[in-house]
Amino acid sequence: MTSTCPSGFPAASGTVTVRASADEQVATILIDRADQLNALTLDLLADLDDALAEIADSPARVVLVRTAGEKAFCVGADIKVFSRLAPEEMWRRWIASGHRTFDRLAGLPQPTIAVVDGLALGGGLELAMSCDLRIAHRRAEFGLPETGLGTIPGWGGTARLTDLAGPSRAKHLILTRRRIDADTALAWGVVNSVADDLEAAVGGFVRDLLDSAPIAQQVAKQLVDAAAAGAPSSVLEAIASGFTAHTADFREGVRAFTARATPQFQGR
């Protein structure tokens, strides 16, 4: 059966699935359209948005964003789809859908990790930048090539890349359309870690994240996001510190520190 995307064009294949670990602490989102280098369509964006809404209310403490295949993490928007959109559809559907979904990803309470292998271009890089952390295989490459198509990064790339790498480097990628390798992306602050053994690196980050108190971790994430938006940390940190001081996890953390033991956080 052939489905139809909201624009009226036939929807290409592709799936978004969510898998929880046995203890439900780690949720893994898999975008699978490997035969098209995981290029994104309106249907895939809608499915991803639904998956994120499901995860937000789940017991998961860490969220991994993965894609199928090793050739490309995601090459961005499906050009065959958006090139046929009328201007009002581009405005009302295509750009709005991408922003809505990527903003939901960025706003998840749980820490999120983009697991990047292969090419992360255009909307694929914008997808990765919507996560809190990015761990890349050494063969990964990054770029925002949209100006070569006569358009611009439309799913938050101009802002998120500027936040991560600064305006000069953002202009470098966007205006020249050049790609950078994983080591350069690490030096520029676009990724957090580069590894030859990607799974080992991801596992290490997940263990570190799970060792922290869940409530404090999620509050800290919100504080960093608020500070990036210009909110005064002196006010918000005082409120947040007062809140976390009343949690059972804070008492457990102090107890374990005093006893030189490993804390057993319960998320309450």
The residue length of the chain stands at: 268
For the question of residue 146 being annotated catalytic, the response is yes
Give the least confident one: 25-29, 212-216, 242-246, 255-259: 242-246
Q: Bigger pLDDT: 114 or 84? A: 114
Residue 160: both structure tokens together: 């998120």
pTM score: 0.89
186-212 pLDDT, tens per residue? Answer: 999 999 999 999 999 999 999 999 999
135 — pLDDT class (breaks 50, 70, 90): very high
Cβ–Cβ under 8 Å, residues 139 and 118 = yes
Distance CA 45, CA 120 (A): 16
Catalytic residue among 54, 70, 88, 126: 126
DSSP state of 197: S
Q: Quick one: average pLDDT of 26-51?
A: 96
- Tell me phi and psi for residue 177, to 5 degrees: 65, 15
H or E element at residue 242: helix 233-244
Token pair listed for 207 = 């263990």
**Cβ(114)–Cβ(171) under 8 Å?**
no
Query: What is the bridge-based pairing of β-strands 15-20 and 26-32?
Result: antiparallel
Q: What is the CA radius of gyration of the chain?
A: 19
Rounded CA separation 74/122 (Å): 8
Return the percentage of the chain with pLDDT > 90, whole number. Answer: 66
Name the E strands within the chain.
Answer: 15-20, 26-32, 62-67, 72-74, 112-116, 119-121, 133-137, 141-143, 180-181, 193-195
Reply yes or no on whether 199 is catalytic.
no
Regarding predicted confidence, which is higher, 256 or 230? 230
Residue 91 has pLDDT above 90, yes or no: no
Residue 55: predicted pLDDT = 97
pLDDT at 18 over 70: yes
Residue with tokens 């990054």: 142
Distance CA 15, CA 110 (A): 23
Catalytic member of 24, 54, 88, 146: 146
| Beta bridge partners of residue 180, listed in sequence order | 142
Phi, psi of 160 (to 5 degrees): -70, -40
Pick the residue with more confidence: 232 or 25?
25
Domains along the chain with CATH numbers: 15-210 (3.90.226.10), 214-259 (no CATH)
DSSP annotation of 114 reads: E
Higher pLDDT, residue 10 or 113: 113
